[in-house]
Amino acid sequence: MSAPEEPLVQAEGVVKHFPIKQGVIFKKEVARVHAVDGVDLSIRRGETLGVVGESGSGKSTLARCITGLHPVTAGRILFEGTDITRLSAAGLKAFRRDVQMIFQDPYGSLNPRRRVGSIIGDPFAIHGLADGADRKKRVQELMELVGLNPEHFNRFPAEFSGGQRQRIGVARALALRPKLIVCDEPVSALDVSIQAQVINLLKDLQNEFGLTYLFIAHDLSVVRYVSDRVAVMYLGKIGEGAAAEELYQRPRHPYSAALLSAASIADPDLAERAERVVLSGDVPSPIDPPSGCRFHPRCPKAQERCVAEDPPLVVREGDAADHRTACHFPVEPGESLAHNKAAIRQVSTEPDLPEVEQ
Ligand SMILES: Nc1ncnc2c1ncn2[C@@H]1O[C@H](COP(=O)(O)OP(=O)(O)OP(=O)(O)O)[C@@H](O)[C@H]1O
Ligand SMILES: [Mg+2]
């Protein structure tokens, strides 16, 4: 049995590559998307681990690996000490009771032709756990729990508002009392006023049922509000991970500092961090990620070493024991990045590789 201090989830060296194939009859792999490229993380029982990062950084792919929806290319994912990447079909079915997902799109993830009661009751049906009147009763209890009117059992998704539809998704995820819920941008599609209601519902349910969340979002202020710890992803890797407040007050990776500075334009809470670091350029292609530190072509602090050497994710001197940064030249307290742009030009770039035809 697992010891109480053991994390609920432990990912070790998780890699997920998607092959790009070409050819009419004999499909040949011509390239690979390096969606997740060596991720180590842990999620403790009862906590919320937030994951942030620009679009395409691999957040959803990592989430799908952790829920067992994607087979991994390499690495291990321990759930209560058991490696879920090697489970038999029966083991995987049992694991899927313990782990549920809530998706971004409350419109797309609900079948419009099915009644809400049967959608929420799906997990009972799949796992053969309750039927008939018993299932109806349990579904109605779930509807009540998430703030839906249980009388609306027979309605269709289109008869609910966006926020209510996300509550349907939450009810379905809760049905089997999972241990981990992976929330992939659960409020991004909702109006701001509705976002707060759904987030508070998720927090209340976490307290009531001791749930553990992996919470993915673009919005840094949402992540700060819900998370105990935060991991910042960039091009398939974690650049920095720390307790939420620590990361927001004292980001050490130049990428985290830049993300926070960009977010502070819209968020008065973050605006205390007066500095503006503007990230130049687009996120490079995950088909051919930059050498060394993947952030080096956009980093205001990059030097030759960053082009050659991939920095490990480690605790830097002076930082808390669970504050890890993958950077050769982390941001020092009080350091300004805004006028450090000249450094970028001194960095030699890799020769361009031939383009991959798709
Ligand atoms: N099934 C797939 N086949 C091929 N490439 C994929 C697949 N799923 C994701 N990718 C690629 O993997 C990379 C990471 O995608 P992912 O969806 O995990 O990013 P994300 O951080 O969740 O982005 P977003 O914030 O836009 O949701 C992207 O380049 C994406 O195009
Ligand atoms: Mg995503």
CB atoms within 10 A of CB 355: 10
Residue with tokens 């089997």: 176
CA dihedral 235, 240, 241, 244 (to 10 degrees): -110
Q: Report the 3 state secondary structure along 251-315.
A: CCCHHHHHHHHHHCCCCCCHHHCCCCCCCCCCCCCCCCCCCCCCCHHHCCCCCHHHHHCCCCCEE
Ligand 1 closest atom vs CA 233: 21
Distance 5 CA to ligand 2 centre (A): 30
Instruction: Decide: 13 and 49 in contact? Cβ < 8 Å.
Output: no
> How far is it, in rounded angstroms, from Cα 322 to Cα 241?
7
Instruction: Considering every ligand atom shown, identify the ligand nearest to the alpha carbon of residue 55 and give its number.
Output: 1
CA–centroid distance, residue 121 to ligand 2 (Å):
26
State residue 16's pLDDT score: 98
Ligand 1 binding pocket mutation candidate from 27, 61, 255, 282 (most atoms within 8 A of CB): 61
* Rounded-to-integer distance, Cα 116 and Cα 106, Å: 12
Asked if 243 and 228 touch (Cβ cutoff 8 Å), the reply is yes
55 lines ligand 1 (CB under 6 A): yes
Q: Which amino acid is at 38?
A: G
| Burial 38-63, CB ≥16 within 10 A → b, else e | bbbbbbbbebbbbbbbbebbbbbbbb
Check if 358 has its Cβ closer than 6 Å to any atom of ligand 1: no
Ligand nearest to the CA of 69: 1
The confidence score (pLDDT) of residue 358 equals 42
Would you write out the chain's pLDDT as a tens digit for each of its 358 residues? 545 579 999 999 999 999 998 888 888 888 999 999 999 999 999 999 999 999 999 999 999 999 999 999 999 999 999 999 999 888 988 899 999 999 887 677 789 999 999 999 999 998 888 889 999 999 999 999 999 999 999 999 999 998 999 999 999 999 999 999 999 999 988 888 899 999 999 999 999 999 999 999 988 889 999 999 999 999 999 999 999 999 999 999 999 998 888 776 566 665 555 456 667 777 889 999 999 999 999 998 999 999 999 999 999 999 999 999 999 999 998 887 765 544 433 333 333 444 444 4
Binding site membership of 285 for ligand 1 (Cβ less than 6 Å): no
Whose structure tokens read 């539809």? 165
pLDDT at 281: 74
- Taking the CA of residue 53 as reference, the ligand 1 atom at the shortest distance is 21
Whole-prediction pTM value?
0.90
- CA distances for 233 relative to 134, 161, 317, angstroms: 43, 32, 22
User: Rounded to whole angstroms, how far apart are CA atoms 166 and 241?
Assistant: 28
Plot region of 152 (φ>0 → left; ψ -120 to 50 → alpha; else → beta): alpha
Q: In this predicted structure, what is the pLDDT of residue 338?
A: 67
CB 173 within 8 Å of CB 143: no
66 Cβ closer than 6 Å to some ligand 1 atom? no
Q: How far apart are CA 276 and CA 269, in angstroms?
A: 14
Tell me the ligand closest to 218's alpha carbon.
Answer: 1
Residues in the chain: 358
Q: Please say whether the dihedral angle defined by the alpha carbons of residues 9, 15, 109 and 54, taken in this order, is positive or negative.
A: positive
Ligand 1 pocket check for 236: Cβ under 6 Å: no
271 phi-psi bin (left φ>0, alpha ψ -120 to 50, beta other): alpha
